[in-house]
Amino acid sequence: MINVLIIYHTQSGNTEKLARAVAQGVNDTENAYATFKNASNATAQDVRGCNAFVICSPEYFGYMAGAIKDFFDRTYEELKDDQRIWKKPYCIVVSAGNDGSFAHSHIERICKGYRFKKIQHPIICKGPVTEEMVRKCFDLGMTIAEGINAKIF
């Protein structure tokens, strides 16, 4: 079974809605399941144990959520030299009040430090969460799971 880890933080519920759509897309794919974790509870072992992961963050003051940054801070030393996670597939979802670009770029920069492999362009939801954005996130989850099943990622 393919395990896709969904790491998220939310206060308003918007980012959680997008993250749950990603998870649903994974779960609706044959031979795949999503592990859904609040960033405060996600660990280095979660990253080791998944086949791919999605980082879902709100944009706060043009930056990623502090809980997402905390996740990276807590796991970096343990994972930085772990070759098992090098080139692990990831992608990013941002729920943005602004344009989301700064939050996205900082998450991406941190992921480069871990040597993760970006497999999709980010999904940046600007403003209210629409059904179109929920569908994009659902499709992202399916794409990741199918890509891993097909050994594309």
- The class level of CATH for 2-149 reads alpha beta
Q: 122-141, pLDDT tens digit by residue?
A: 999 999 999 999 999 999 99
User: What pTM value is reported for the model?
Assistant: 0.96
Residue 3, CA distances (Å) to 70, 110, 116 in order: 23, 22, 16
Domain boundaries, the chain: 2-149
Name the band, by pLDDT with cuts 50, 70 and 90, for residue 28. very high
